[in-house]
Chain A
Amino acid sequence: MERHMHSRPLFHITKKDEPSFLVRSLTVLVAVILALLVSALFIHFVTKLDPISVYTSMIKGAFGTKRRTWITIRDACLLLLISLSLAPAFRMRFWNCGAEGQVLIGGLSTAALMIYFGDKVPGAVLLMVMLIVSALCGGLWAFLPAVFKAKYDTNETLFTLMMNYVAIQLVEFFVDFWDKKQSHSVGIINMNTSGGWFPKVFGQQYGLNILIVVVVTVFIYIYMHYSKHGYEGAVVGESVATARYAGINVEKVIRNNVLISGAIAGIAGFVEVSGISHTISKVTAGGRGFTAIIVCWLAKFDPFRMSVISLFIVFLSKGASQISSDFGLNEYASNIITAIMLFFILSSGFFNNYKISFSHGRKEGD
């Protein structure tokens, strides 16, 4: 043990500047190729299947038919929307882990409006009302932790996480309240009348979903880069003291940015309930509120990177489900393949931001 004290560590890790786009893209490409190779080993040796046919199956699962492609795009859009919602908060270093609950509350308010007004109010009016109400509800769900953070410096990670459970319990309560059979399932709301459902736009069932996501993407991009508030958020994220010194009203900036964050998550709940599933249950958010954290973080809050990553993650999950269907592999095997992919891509981010330098020559100490 003594001798180790004099030996140099084998390698050093140092931070470096972010490399050029080309280098970064190449790193990701290498990561994907390595991931495919390692997964192939797993597929060949553990599941005894042919890796090429497994990969083909994944691609077919996500893009094999026109409908599957649309579903993949639809789900990627939803994940992107939730990821976008996190950006204004995350950039202030406000760790909003409550997107799951904000989506649920947005979805719950949408479901309530569909149930009570689905057949009474004209479609376009109802959609507008649902959009606004879901944004307000999602905003409120994020606003509460923000107020406490701004006023009393409470821990927003715990606060937003706990708000998720409050949202889940509220949804559970209303599911039982609306389900007169006590079977704990609301079923499809307004199945016969389609009241409060997204209409087809551009002849596409999911046209409106995509439109909303595109609008929000552009909005977030402009907001983060060209608005005063967005800029102030970035300053607060870098240093609260600097922000104060520069005369920024930190409390107000936190409140407003988080309000926007929650409102967008609430709108995601509206898109999910009114535009996709037409029902509400505690799985309506389906863990996307947490997956979105990975997306937002990997993309470094950049809306365009987020869209690529969202699409990739949804592709992996559709692919995994197709593998289990085609080869009778259970979820665990599919999840391992997904995990290998994510592991390599996450690691590639490390090599883009850090440099490893090895110490040469001296091998004392063994």
Chain B
Amino acid sequence: MKKLLTVLLALFMVFSLVGCSGGKEETPADQPAEGYNGPKIGVILVGDENEGYTYAHILGIRDAAAKLGIPDEAIIWKYSVPEDQTCYDMAVDLVENGATLVISNSYGHQSFMQQAASEYPEVTFVADTGDTAAVSGLSNLKNAFPHTFESRYVSGVVAGMKIKELSDNGVLVPENYTSDGNVKVGYVGAFPYAEVVSGYTAFFLGIKSVFPDVEMFVEFTNSWFDLTAEGTVADDLMSQGCVIVGQHADSTGAPTKLQENMEGNKYGFTAYSVGYNVSMLDVAPDVALTSASNVWEKFYSYAFTCWQNGDEIMTDWSEGYETGAVEITDLGKAVAQGTQEAVDAAIAAIKSGELHVFDASTFTIGGEVPTSILGDVDADFTPEKECLIDGYFHESEFRSAPYFAEKIDGITTLN
């Protein structure tokens, strides 16, 4: 009996091997029925449309393709690809099926993209949010990261306006103040990683530009996407008196929890949410102010245009408000009066170059106004590049992924 089974298994394997090698020449595996034969774009996504961060990428790619007249058949999608060998397998599979541009959207995909890039020099690989393209020694590996710190700053302005309103109306309770009389702000961070540090510092500076007497508490979830952990951390921050809870984590856990706490009047005050990637108004209609977000369509339009024209994509792509690559989502009904005007003014100032997010005159490090800040722009774990030039820190200029990693005064990390 066992012999029979073994023979069957062997037959099955042989059959499948023969089956694929026979038909391979004429019809590549993913050849759609329409018979599209041109070059293709392969997309490797860490999630699917049910996850906010990936959904923003899907929309960006669809919009860019529609704008440039790239047919649906020219794009091969790989959903829910974990950050392991699967990413490499998928990248190579895409190349074998005609992709001449392969994009991955999560940081952890990067080293697997790099491995594939070293084996297929004629194909361009873009690792979104990655940081090693410039130092990889591979001319076909690229990184892209929008100026998210700009939209975080602007979302901080929205939060600052709200704190100012609460303070002016006298609705803040004693728990909302630190012993120094500063208003407490919370932040749900994913990891203590430069991208996150840069983001929450920009958010904090945005708040301070409107309401200077604040202190921020950052707690990490150690995950990019964890509904439960983000909710728990948001609740913890609120229990410590934080009246605003910002986030750099990809789920709706935090705003959902704040809405729930507001409805149950759990702490005797209301805390407001500033989200990320997508509008949180669906899950937290009463407490969501806005979300900092990226407009990935800008990058994809650029990259696809290069791909169509046979031009080389730049190694490090990073753009912000100037070209519309970042934005904040629709303002919620809870925002303070005059918020839209303040937001418009901040955006205009960023666009004109009059306002720099990391303006060294607006923060201190260890009680001192900084005169020099080094950034690690070659991904070797030691900061070496002077980035404080002309009075401000040049974020995402020397490479696309953020590298502002300083601990500025007024921000405390809790774990």
Contacts and interface: CB of A to CB of B under 8 A. Distances in A.
Interface of A: 21, 53, 59-69, 71, 73, 172, 180-185, 187-188, 191, 276-279, 281, 283-284, 286, 302, 304-305, 307-308, 311, 321, 324-326, 328, 330-331
Given A63-B20, A330-B50, A283 B93 contact: no
A286 B80 CA distance: 13
- What 7 A-B pairs come out closest when comparing CB atoms? A64-B29, A187-B111, A277-B85, A180-B381, A188-B111, A63-B16, A21-B1
Contacts of A183: 107-108, 191, 193, 195
* SS class, residues of chain A in contact with chain B: helix
B337 to A, nearest CB: 40
B175 interface: no
B83 A281 contact: yes
Nearest to A72: B16
B107 A283 contact: no
B192 A182 contact: yes
A66 to B, nearest CB: 6
B20 A68 contact: yes
A29 to B, nearest CB: 11
B12 A286 contact: no
Contacts of B77: 324-325, 328
Given A191-B114, A277-B85, A308 B79 contact: no
Contacts of B12: 308, 311
Given A68-B93, A183-B107, 12 more contacts: A62-B16, A65-B96, A67-B92, A181-B193, A182-B194, A183-B193, A187-B110, A188-B111, A188-B112, A311-B9, A311-B13, A321-B79
Contact of B79 (A181, A281, A325): A325
18 contacts: A21-B4, A65-B20, A65-B28, A181-B194, A185-B110, A187-B110, A188-B114, A191-B115, A286-B82, A304-B5, A304-B6, A308-B5, A324-B80, A325-B76, A326-B32, A328-B77, A330-B49, A331-B80
A364 B135 CA distance: 82
A68 B110 CA distance: 22
Contact of B193 (A172, A184, A281, A326): A184
A183 B8 CA distance: 47
Contacts of B108: 183-185, 187, 281
B5 A305 contact: yes
B2 A302 contact: yes
B84 interface: yes
A307 B5 CA distance: 10
Interface of B: 1-2, 4-6, 8-9, 12-13, 16-17, 19-21, 24, 28-30, 32-33, 48-50, 76-80, 82-85, 89, 92-93, 96-97, 107-108, 110-112, 114-115, 131, 191-195, 222, 379, 381
Contact of A284 (B5, B84, B114): B84
A187 B84 CA distance: 8
Contacts of B112: 188
Nearest to B58: A328
Contacts of B1: 21
A63 B317 CA distance: 37
B356 to A, nearest CB: 25
A309 to B, nearest CB: 10
B222 A172 contact: yes
A310 B5 CA distance: 14
A67 B93 CA distance: 8
Given A181-B194, A182-B193, A188-B115, A279 B13 contact: no
Contact of B20 (A53, A64, A182, A302): A64
Contact of B82 (A60, A283, A330): A283
A331 B110 contact: no
Contacts of A53: 33
Contacts of A328: 77
Contact of A65 (B24, B78, B381): B24
Given A65-B29, A302-B2, A283 B84 contact: yes
Contact of B19 (A63, A67, A286): A63
A362 to B, nearest CB: 41
Nearest to B16: A63
A304 B4 CA distance: 10
A69 B107 contact: no
Given A181-B379, A304-B9, A311-B9, A69 B191 contact: no
Nearest to A180: B381
Contacts of A65: 20, 24, 28-29, 93, 96-97
Contact of A182 (B48, B79, B114, B191): B191
B13 A73 contact: yes
Identify which of A67, A286, A302 gathers the most chain B CB atoms within 10 Å of its CB: A67
Nearest to A50: B33
A183 B220 CA distance: 12
Identify which of A61, A65, A180, A283 gathers the most chain B CB atoms within 10 Å of its CB: A65
Contacts of B85: 276-279
A185 B83 contact: yes
Contact of B30 (A187, A279, A326): A326
A268 B82 CA distance: 19
A277 B2 CA distance: 33
